[in-house]
Amino acid sequence: MRIEEYTAEELFRRLNETDECESLEAKAFSSDSPHSIMETVCSFSNEPGLGGGVILLGVAENDGDGTRYVVENIANLDKAQLDFATQCASMFNFPVRPEISVEQVEGKRILKIFVAELPAGRKPLYFKNEGIPKGIWRRVGSSDQRCYEEELSVFYNREEVAMDCRRKG
């Protein structure tokens, strides 16, 4: 089964059993910055061969009782979805259209967000205000990592990279 086919409840259980992984990320609605959440969107969109990933928005790391993650309740789901979709449409070099669904986990409402991997011809996705390569993020294990100029060949053939670097230089 592909990651996006699991319910939020199943993915939440998986988080507490094994932790985040290359295709599953928990983000606290109350405390994670919008930029941090968008870095994960960028990473899932860009990483070659990943197929995308799921963000559980409204799930926070737990410092307390030995449970890895706890569920927050997102009070204003309509606003949360609107804000998220607007950021995906406006922060990058072109709009990202994730699949967003409202699901309940432990009786609380969260957002399950599937971000598909982009086709090779649309990569790399990057933050408009940061440009290439600084605004490109990749998924490495369970982390979002900034892309370096030396890695751009993953997205372009070497001749295109050389031309782009000459234009900037």
- Tell the burial category of 44 from Cβ atoms under 10 Å away from its Cβ (0-12, 13-18, 19+): buried
pLDDT at res. 144: 97
pLDDT of 164 over the 60 cut? no
Strand locations in 14-167 (E): 24-27, 53-57, 59-61, 69-71, 99-105, 108-115, 137-140, 143-146
**Whether the Cβ atoms of residue 110 and residue 70 lie closer than 8 Å to each other:** no
Q: In angstroms, how far is the first alpha carbon of the chain from the final one? A: 46
**Whether the Cβ atoms of residue 139 and residue 115 lie closer than 8 Å to each other:** no
Measure the CA–CA gap between 3 and 33, rounded to whole angstroms: 24
pLDDT at res. 155: 87
What pLDDT digit, counting tens, does each position of 55-108 carry? Answer: 999 999 987 666 799 999 898 999 999 999 999 999 999 999 999 999 999 999
Q: What angle do CA 151, 156, 161 make, to 5 degrees?
A: 75
Q: Is the peptide bond before 133 cis (omega within 30 degrees of 0)?
A: yes
Single-letter amino acid, residue 157: N
**What single string gives the DSSP state of each residue in 132-168?**
TTTTBEEEETTEEEE--GGGGGGTS-HHHHHHHHHHH
- Range in 131-140, 142-151, 153-162 the model is least confident about: 153-162
Of 12 and 157, the structure prediction assigns the larger pLDDT to 12
pLDDT of 167 over the 70 cut? no
pTM, two decimal places = 0.89
- What is the Cα Rg of the chain in Å? 17
Q: Which two tokens stand for residue 102?
A: 């409202």
Task: Name every residue whose Cβ is closer than 8 Å to that of residue 122 and which is 6 or more positions away in sequence.
Answer: 94
